[in-house]
């Protein structure tokens, strides 16, 4: 069963752009980009960078060292204040003298009895700035010792590597606090020590300083003034390397935690990246094999069980590849069908031309030329519809879909068919239209192509309906779709051929119709347009109560367009 479709006046469109040769196509192919930074390296760099920022912030924004220094100075200042008060009460000689002064013997005895820490040195100065007592030079003072660092062999390889890394990092950090140099002449005087001068003037002072051998010390000076009069100054110098050691230990603890976290981060990053990059690489390799012409034997890996983006990508690639092969199979079948259909009229033309060369009878020659003309027209009509069918998918893929009113289109079509039947002298089928419901009957699509489908269906029904018959058009809503029915009073569709009539180049025409008047593409194109719009086109027979065939019935289903939203504020 074919279709009496509206002839298209447009000539066959030809591609005037010459296809490039194989070397040119290969040379013009876009080169594949080289991967400078793989995805695994990027994920690893981002995760490690975030962890490194935290550790770097610990080195640069370190409040621990300042807090420990302040605590050290505060404790030493309290100790200096208590010792200065005790010296003011016990070591200032006021008996039998007009001017009280510092009793050096009593001060030395008091300093010794206080048992200062071995790393703390006490210096007492008279009111005139002369050194009176040095706790490290007293006869009973303990021997000063310096604890040496353990030998490198005891630290081990990892310990030495950690020390070297720590020293390398701290040596390149900008200094956070400037520590002045602490100088102690062999016979110091108050003039050599600014803090002592301030204490002799009644002002206590404290500071962190470094010795000549780069050791950190805490320096605190306090005035000795039992009767609101300064009788001397006390200077306490305590070793503060424990502060740096505490900071060092804290940093080593952070570094150890960083190393553990770094190892975990690297492993997790590699695992996480592997769950992404390995499937992507497999998908990319499979796509490359498909592009290289591997054929159907190339299977796209199935990761749909992952239920994530990789799974969706895998499903999309598999569907795309399957659609590609379906399209290629369709193209191959289409080319084979075209070659078969074109070969018949060409053979007829060649045979008629060859016969016309050998025939001398002008009447027979005129008949042969008329036959050639009919075959050429058939070829022209066939090639026009082939060109139309080949560009439908591309045209609909690029077209902007707009709401199309099917009721208005059917109404116009029914009026045109009625006017054409009235103007014709020959008896023709009557076209009726029945609309169920109030609608709306709008669908999203390309108006010209939908009109082509309706014209093909109506023209096909009229060609099979007997004179005086009826072509009944119906329109109704069915849920979320719009349904169009086209019924005729013809002989119907042969049993079992309900799907075959939609195949390309299939022809089943009424008796008496000229052979070759139809290409057999009308219904195939109509279904192709319907499916491109997300709909379907089917055909069945109509029967009476006795089971006799009353005619064919075509059913076109299209998804209804969503109702337009009102622009007025609600």
Q: What pLDDT, in 10s, does the model give residues 141-167?
A: 655 555 655 565 555 676 677 777 777
How far is it, in rounded angstroms, from Cα 88 to Cα 107? 9
How far is it, in rounded angstroms, from Cα 268 to Cα 371? 79
Q: Is the dihedral of CA 364, 366, 367, 369 positive or negative?
A: positive
> 493: closest CA among 35, 2, 120, 44?
2
**Residues 6+ away with beta carbon under 8 Å from 287:** 300, 317
**Residues 6+ away with beta carbon under 8 Å from 386:** 338, 519, 521
Residue 382 pLDDT more than 60? yes
How far is it, in rounded angstroms, from Cα 101 to Cα 132? 11
**Residues 6+ away with beta carbon under 8 Å from 515:** none
> 430: closest CA among 397, 468, 477, 389?
468
Average of per-residue pLDDT across 416-445: 81
Residue 388 pLDDT more than 80? no
pLDDT of the residue at 85: 87
How far is it, in rounded angstroms, from Cα 486 to Cα 3? 13
**Residues 6+ away with beta carbon under 8 Å from 57:** none
Q: Is the dihedral of CA 104, 109, 110, 116 positive or negative?
A: positive
Q: Is the dihedral of CA 185, 186, 189, 190 positive or negative?
A: positive
How far is it, in rounded angstroms, from Cα 131 to Cα 189? 6
Q: How many CB atoms lie within 10 A of CB 423?
A: 8
How far is it, in rounded angstroms, from Cα 280 to Cα 262? 26
pLDDT of the residue at 538: 92
Q: How confident is the model at residue 519 (pLDDT cuts 50, 70, 90)?
A: low
Residue 23 pLDDT more than 60? no
> 394: closest CA among 331, 321, 481?
331
Q: How confident is the model at residue 561 (pLDDT cuts 50, 70, 90)?
A: confident
Q: How many CB atoms lie within 10 A of CB 178?
A: 5
How far is it, in rounded angstroms, from Cα 259 to Cα 423? 95
Q: What is the DSSP letter of 206?
A: E
Characterise 520 by phi-psi region: left (phi > 0), alpha (psi -120 to 50), beta (else).
left
Residue 124 pLDDT more than 70? yes
Strand order through the sheet with 536-543:
430-435, 470-478, 481-487, 549-559, 536-543
Q: What angle in degrees, to the nearest 10, is found between the helix axes of 406-423 and 447-464?
A: 40
CA atoms within 13 Å, Cβ hemisphere of 463:
22
What are the tokens at 511?
């008796």
**Mind listing the pLDDT tens digit for each residue in 234-268?**
999 998 888 888 888 877 777 777 788 888 888 88
Mean pLDDT score of the chain, rounded to an integer? 77
pLDDT of the residue at 484: 94
Residue 20 pLDDT more than 70? no
pTM of the model: 0.47
**Residues 6+ away with beta carbon under 8 Å from 441:** 405, 406, 407, 435, 475, 477, 482, 560
Q: How confident is the model at residue 515 (pLDDT cuts 50, 70, 90)?
A: very low
Q: How confident is the model at residue 221 (pLDDT cuts 50, 70, 90)?
A: very high
CA distances from 456 to 451, 474, 522 (A): 8, 15, 6
**Mind listing the pLDDT tens digit for each residue in 415-427?**
888 877 776 666 6
**Residues 6+ away with beta carbon under 8 Å from 131:** 123, 124, 125, 187, 188, 189
Q: What is the 3-state secondary structure (H, E, C) of 384-404?
A: HHHHHHHCHHHHHHHCCCEEE
> 235: closest CA among 199, 202, 209?
199
Pairing of strands 470-478, 430-435: parallel
How far is it, in rounded angstroms, from Cα 377 to Cα 385? 12
Distance of CA 106 to the CA centre of its chain: 82
Residue 93 sits at φ, ψ, to 5 deg, of: -85, 115
**Mind listing the pLDDT tens digit for each residue in 337-375?**
667 667 767 777 888 788 877 777 788 778 778 878 877
pLDDT of the residue at 129: 86
């Amino acid at each position: 069963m074919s279709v009496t479709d509206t002839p298209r006046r447009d000539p066959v469109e030809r591609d005037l752009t010459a296809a490039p040769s194989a070397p040119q196509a290969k040379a013009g192919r876009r080169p594949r980009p080289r991967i400078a930074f793989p995805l695994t390296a990027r994920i690893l760099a981002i995760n490690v960078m975030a962890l490194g920022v935290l550790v770097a912030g610990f080195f640069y924004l370190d409040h621990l060292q300042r807090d420990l220094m302040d605590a050290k100075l505060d404790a030493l200042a309290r100790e200096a204040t208590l010792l200065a008060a005790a010296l003011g009460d016990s070591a200032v000689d006021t008996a039998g003298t007009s001017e009280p002064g510092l009793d050096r013997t009593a001060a030395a005895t008091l300093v010794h009895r206080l048992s200062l820490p071995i790393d703390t040195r006490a210096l007492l100065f008279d009111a005139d700035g002369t050194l009176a007592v040095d706790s490290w030079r007293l006869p009973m003072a303990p021997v000063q010792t310096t604890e040496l660092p353990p030998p490198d062999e005891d630290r081990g390889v990892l310990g030495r590597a950690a020390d070297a890394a720590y020293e390398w990092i701290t040596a390149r950090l900008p200094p956070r606090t400037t520590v002045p140099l602490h100088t102690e002449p062999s016979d110091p005087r108050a003039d050599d020590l600014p803090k002592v001068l301030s204490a002799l003037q009644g002002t206590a002072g404290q500071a962190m300083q470094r010795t000549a051998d780069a050791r950190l010390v805490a320096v605190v000076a306090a005035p000795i003034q039992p009767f609101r009069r300064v009788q001397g100054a006390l200077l306490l110098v305590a070793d503060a390397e424990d502060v740096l050691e505490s900071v060092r230990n804290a940093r080593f603890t952070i570094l150890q935690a960083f190393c553990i976290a770094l190892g975990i981060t690297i492993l997790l990053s590699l695992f996480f990246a592997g769950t992404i990059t390995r499937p992507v690489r497999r998908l990319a390799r499979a796509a490359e094999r498909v592009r290289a012409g591997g054929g159907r034997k190339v299977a796209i890996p199935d990761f749909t069980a992952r239920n994530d983006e990789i799974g969706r990508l895998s499903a999309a690639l598999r569907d795309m590849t399957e659609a590609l092969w379906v399209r290629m199979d369709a193209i191959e079948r289409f080319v084979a069908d075209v070659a078969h259909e074109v070969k018949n009229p060409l053979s007829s033309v060649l045979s008629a031309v060859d016969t016309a060369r050998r025939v001398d009878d002008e009447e027979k020659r005129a008949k042969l030329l008329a036959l050639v003309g009919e075959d050429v027209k058939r070829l022209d009509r066939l090639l026009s519809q082939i060109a139309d069918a080949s560009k439908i998918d591309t045209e609909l893929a690029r077209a902007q879909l707009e709401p199309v009113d099917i009721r208005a289109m059917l109404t116009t079509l029914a009026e045109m068919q009625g006017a054409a039947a009235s103007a014709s002298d020959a008896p023709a089928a009557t076209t009726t239209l029945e609309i169920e419901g109030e609608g709306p009957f709008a669908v999203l699509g390309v108006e010209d192509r939908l009109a082509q489908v309706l014209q093909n269906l109506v023209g096909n029904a009229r060609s099979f309906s007997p004179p005086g018959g009826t072509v009944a058009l119906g329109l109704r809503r069915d849920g979320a779709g719009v349904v169009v029915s086209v019924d005729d009073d013809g002989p119907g569709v042969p049993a079992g051929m309900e799907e075959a009539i939609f195949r390309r180049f299939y022809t089943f025409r009424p008796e008496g119709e000229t052979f070759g008047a139809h290409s057999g593409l009308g219904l195939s194109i109509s279904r192709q347009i319907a499916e491109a719009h997300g709909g379907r086109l089917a055909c069945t027979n109509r029967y009476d109560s006795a089971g006799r065939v009353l005619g064919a019935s075509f059913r076109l289903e299209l998804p209804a367009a969503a109702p337009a939203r009102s622009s007025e504020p609600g």
